[in-house]
């Protein structure tokens, strides 16, 4: 079947909603990309903090919200990266959850910070206290000594928990999570309840989940974490030893939110990020990385490198698929090397085909960077989007993985219908780049629907929608239409969109929209655009909940709001949250924050950073 590609490069010259045929060799000069790269970067601006929290009905809507759509869009990501002049990198910012609750053709907006223990302490002291994963500068006193004696020689690398990388509502529990620690939130108000207040927030797991359907029709949420122990070498089957042991721990939660399964597997130390779950397996992509020891004992000590920069490419080994049994008594970990050298962070989906082999779809990168520099800080020379959409078929008899290129249009942040996780599927939705010239790709700006038959290794359709000249789509989510026996793509794709040139902005020209696209008519663009009351930074990950949560205030919240109003001067907006606050941020403060725009960053919560921390902590004990 011939590939049908739909795209439009001429969006630069006129406003559009429809799309046209893709041409990946568009004659666009490199200098033409620069204003769009710069516009893209404005979506990483820090917000003032607790005083920025807000809530209210969305009143500015273009088009109509589908009447039958009911549920809540949940997004989480770093939002505040500066205190008292100390500027952190974007991914180290404090997490802010954004919700848009949709029902009866109306939408209610909220945004609230995740109050971790570290955030709470920083609010009391008014300054940063702990070091972070992605920031080279260290707020601790006598940082050189702290990094040498406490971090490297003492093995105590405790980094700040920022609660910033995902948010999910499952089994009656709403949780925000960073790279390993989840925090329960109040589903009515988004206020932080804390770690350990429900089964989902009582384990340690990363920010990547999968929901699967069991043979009996029930649903499960699967979470995982990698625990690396560099004190214990992994013993291979041939009697040799591998430096360090990873314990991959997989958790499964039923529809009531109860933990119903936990499986722990030892295997050689690794860096992984996301997971695929099929009917019978958990599958991880083991990226070929190593530690940069020279940088560890030079740049890290002198605050010229952060923790994440101490991991680098290992071009001497292949990428590996680690395959773990989901059921039964078999606890053997299988390994399948890939025939294509790459990195993969965010995976699309996977399933077992009729031959019993595993189909593994993912976004592949040709270089390693924990900070996702190609899309967070593109310059058109060294850094620019270059990811590819790939399918691997893992032969479960030979334990070999063969690579197939599905699309060379740079893509990331993939999603499918959650009803098809781990099963044969046809449609996926991604964030994609726009434009190409002389091998340089334009910024991540569009949303794309890709389609292929389950037994094929080529796409039969690729539809791309571009939100506007200086607008940039974030991670998409699929919302199934209510009903039974519907097509896989019968529903909507929803996403937030950064507007870099919003005329009515109160935040330096920035604004944020929510778009709703009929997935069956993807190329026609949104059926509704919702202008959110506040600018929302790009964020990292999120989810769509079929439950209507975080809607308008209930009686208890209204009572607390009324009490706040009595204590206010009636001029400043008010917000419930951390010790209940009255918002006092002025336009001048916002403009000052804009002038001190900090570095960019996007991507998932970074599984495997625990492995690096543990390794560096034990460096003094081995060569």
Q: Which of 355, 283, 296 has its CA nearest to residue 326?
A: 283
pLDDT for the residue 606: 29
pLDDT for the residue 19: 32
Name 78's bridge partners.
Answer: 95
Q: Which of 59, 69, 67, 43 has its CA nearest to residue 532?
A: 59
Q: Contact, 218 vs 206, CB < 8 A?
A: no
Q: Which of 166, 179, 101, 103 has its CA nearest to residue 543?
A: 166
3-state secondary structure of 212: strand
pLDDT for the residue 602: 27
Residues, the chain? 623
The first and second tokens of residue 334, run together, are 């299988």
Tell me the average confidence (pLDDT) per consecutive run of 10 residues in the chain, 623 residues long.
48 34 42 80 92 95 98 97 92 96 98 96 93 94 93 81 96 93 96 93 93 96 85 68 80 97 88 95 94 92 92 91 96 96 96 97 90 82 90 98 97 97 98 87 94 95 95 97 95 98 93 98 96 96 98 90 76 54 38 35 30 36 26
What is the distance in angstroms between the CA of the first residue and the CA of the last residue of the chain? 56
Number of Cβ within a 10 Å radius of residue 14: 8
Number of Cβ within a 10 Å radius of residue 586: 11
| Neighbouring residues of 59: CB distance < 8 A, sequence distance ≥ 6 | none
Name 169's bridge partners.
Answer: 174
- Global pTM exceeds 0.85: yes
Q: Convert the pLDDT of each residue in 212-263 to its tens digit.
A: 999 999 999 999 998 876 666 667 766 676 666 788 999 999 999 999 999 9
Q: Convert the pLDDT of each residue in 475-499 to its tens digit.
A: 999 999 999 999 999 999 999 999 9
* φ/ψ bin of 290: left (φ > 0), alpha (ψ from -120 to 50), beta (otherwise): beta
Rounded-to-5 percentages of helix, strand, coil across the chain: 15, 35, 45
* Angle made by CA atoms 52, 54, 59, in degrees to the nearest 5: 130
Q: Which of 445, 342, 459 has its CA nearest to residue 385?
A: 445
Q: Contact, 475 vs 208, CB < 8 A?
A: no
CA dist 229 and 245 (Å) reads: 5
């Amino acid at each position: 079947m011939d590939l049908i590609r739909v795209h439009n490069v001429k969006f630069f010259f006129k406003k559009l909603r429809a799309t046209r045929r893709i041409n990946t060799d568009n004659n666009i000069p490199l200098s033409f990309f620069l204003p769009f790269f710069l516009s893209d970067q404005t979506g990483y601006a820090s917000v003032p903090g607790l005083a920025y929290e807000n809530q209210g009905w969305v009143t500015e809507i273009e088009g109509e919200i589908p009447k039958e759509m009911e549920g809540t869009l949940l997004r989480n990501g770093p939002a505040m990266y500066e205190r008292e002049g100390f500027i952190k990198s974007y991914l180290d910012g404090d997490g802010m959850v954004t919700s848009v609750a949709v029902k009866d053709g109306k939408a209610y907006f909220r945004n609230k910070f995740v109050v971790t223990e570290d955030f709470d302490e920083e609010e009391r002291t008014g300054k940063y206290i702990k070091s972070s994963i992605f920031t080279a500068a260290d707020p601790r006193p006598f940082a050189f000594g702290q990094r040498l004696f406490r971090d490297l020689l003492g093995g105590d690398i405790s980094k700040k928990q920022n609660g910033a990388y995902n948010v999910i509502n499952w089994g009656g529990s709403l949780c925000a999570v960073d790279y390993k620690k989840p925090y329960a939130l109040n589903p009515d108000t988004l206020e932080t309840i804390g770690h350990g207040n429900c089964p989902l927030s009582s384990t340690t797991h990363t920010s990547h989940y999968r929901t699967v359907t069991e043979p009996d029709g029930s649903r499960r949420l699967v979470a995982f974490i990698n625990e690396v122990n560099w004190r214990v070498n992994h013993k291979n089957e041939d009697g040799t030893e591998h430096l360090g042991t990873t314990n991959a721990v997989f958790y499964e939660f039923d529809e009531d939110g109860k933990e119903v399964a936990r499986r722990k597997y030892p295997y050689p130390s690794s860096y992984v990020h996301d997971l695929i779950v099929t009917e019978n397996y958990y599958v991880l992509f083991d990226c070929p990385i190593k530690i940069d020891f020279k940088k560890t004992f030079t740049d890290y000590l002198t605050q010229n490198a952060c923790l994440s920069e101490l991991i680098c490419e290992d071009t001497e080994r292949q990428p590996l698929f680690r395959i773990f049994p989901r059921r039964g008594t078999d606890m053997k970990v299988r390994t399948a090397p890939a025939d294509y050298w790459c990195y993969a962070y965010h995976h699309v989906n996977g399933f077992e085909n009729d031959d019993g082999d595993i189909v593994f779809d993912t976004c592949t990168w040709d270089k390693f960077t924990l900070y996702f520099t190609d899309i967070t800080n593109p310059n058109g020379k060294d850094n620019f989007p270059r990811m590819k959409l790939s399918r691997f078929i893992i032969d479960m008899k030979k334990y070999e993985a063969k690579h197939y290129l599905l699309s060379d249009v740079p893509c990331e942040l993939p999603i499918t219908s959650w009803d098809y996780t781990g099963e044969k599927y046809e449609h996926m939705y991604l964030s994609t780049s726009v434009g190409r010239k002389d091998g340089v790709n334009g910024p991540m700006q569009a949303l794309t629907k890709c389609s292929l038959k389950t037994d094929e290794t080529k796409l039969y359709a690729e539809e791309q929608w571009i939100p506007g000249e200086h607008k940039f789509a974030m991670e998409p989510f699929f919302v199934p239409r209510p009903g039974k026996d519907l097509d896989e793509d019968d529903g909507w794709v929803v996403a937030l969109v950064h507007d870099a040139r919003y005329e009515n902005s109160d935040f330096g020209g920035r604004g944020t929209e929510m778009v709703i696209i009929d997935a069956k008519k993807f190329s026609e663009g949104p059926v509704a655009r919702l202008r959110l009351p506040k600018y929302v930074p790009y964020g990292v990950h999120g989810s769509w909940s079929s439950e209507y949560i975080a809607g308008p205030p209930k009686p208890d919240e209204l009572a607390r709001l009324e009490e706040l109003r009595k204590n206010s001067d009636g001029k400043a907006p008010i917000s419930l949250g951390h010790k209940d606050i009255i918002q006092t941020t002025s336009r001048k403060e916002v403009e000052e924050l804009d002038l001190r725009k900090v570095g960019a960053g996007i991507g998932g919560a970074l599984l495997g950073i625990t492995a690096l921390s543990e390794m560096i902590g034990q460096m003094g004990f081995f060569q």
